[in-house]
Amino acid sequence: MKFISILLLVCILSSCNFIMDKFSSKGEVVDNSVIVDSTSTDKKSLNGEVRYKFPSGKLKSIVNYKDNKKVGTSYTYYETGEKQYEIPYVNGQKDGLVKFFYKSGRLYRSTSYKEGLKQGLQKKYWEIGKIKSEMRFERNMMCTGLKEITKSGKVKAEPQIIVKHVNLLNESSVYHLELSLNKKYRSVQFYIGELLNGKCLPVMVNSYLSELDTKKGKATFVFSVPSGHRITRNVSIVAVVKTSYQNHYILSTVTNVSVRNEE
């Protein structure tokens, strides 16, 4: 029997081209303040140490350059003077462990970079020094396996995707999947498609995933099955769940749909 094309009634491609733009945190430092001092003698090419300041005149960051490219470890400070960031650069790109600190001086977050891309584990810490979360990245892609730990040391349970099959063929020749989670979260987005290598969220939305209209943690995927036809296929589902720790669970599941609309 020839398969019938799926009519996706509620699937809307995101207006954003990049998933990471939508879900990534905005904590990275961008120096757009005034140069205070530079050891460079060439006005056209930055070389050596360059200092930046807040509008108040207080030190904001210290960055080393070689031929206009950042090199070595840069330091960024809170306006109150405490160190905020340590960022290692190689040939103008982040490379190594980027560290973000509480004002107390304790480490809040460390993120592994390779050639300018997040690669490896990102760890967050409670201010008392205990591990708060671990999340893996591959070439800037968020991957499965997020682990979050409470202050008391308890590992939080990962949410699960719930798929409810609803057969309305007798009434309207449609069959749909109702998607939700087994726990309530404020920010959830469902997609139809597969994770790269079965574990990482693709960066390009339009190339890999179809975004479902998700409201209050629920979405619906609809099939049109004309009278006398059958649909048999596996449907791959992805969910991106933002947590209260400002991380993201990357979840996936596959459900089988095999229905016939009798004449």
Class of residue 60 by CB neighbours under 10 A (exposed 0-12, middle 13-18, buried 19+): buried
**What pLDDT is stored for residue 87 in this prediction?**
98
**Residue of 106, 137, 111, 114 whose CA lies nearest to 123:** 111
Which carries the bigger pLDDT value, residue 1 or residue 141? 141
pLDDT tier at 161, thresholds 50, 70, 90: very high
Residue 29 in this model has a pLDDT that exceeds 50 = no
**What pLDDT is stored for residue 43 in this prediction?**
60
221 neighbors 10 (Cβ within 8 angstroms): yes
SS3 annotation, the chain: CCCCCCCCCCECCCCCCEHHHHHCCCCCCCCCCEEEEECCCCCCCCCEEEEEECCCCCEEEEEEEECCEEEEEEEEECCCCCEEEEEEEECCEECEEEEEECCCCCEEEEEEEECCEEEEEEEEECCCCCEEEEEEEECCEEECCCEEECCCCCECCCCCEEEEEEEEHHHHCEEEEEEEECCCCCEEEEEECCCECCCECCCEHHHHCEEECCECCEEEEEEECCCCCEEEEEEEEEEEEECCCCCEEEEEEEEEEEEECCC
Q: Which range, of 20-34, 81-95, 210-224, 236-250, averages the lowest pLDDT?
A: 20-34
Residue 73 in this model has a pLDDT that exceeds 80 = yes
Question: Per-residue pLDDT averaged across 185-202, rounded?
Answer: 94
pLDDT tier at 205, thresholds 50, 70, 90: low
Contacts of 98 (CB under 8 A, 6+ apart): 85, 86, 87, 88, 110, 111, 112, 113
Which domains are seen in the chain, by residue range? 34-148 (2.20.110.10), 157-260 (2.60.40)
Which carries the bigger pLDDT value, residue 116 or residue 7? 116
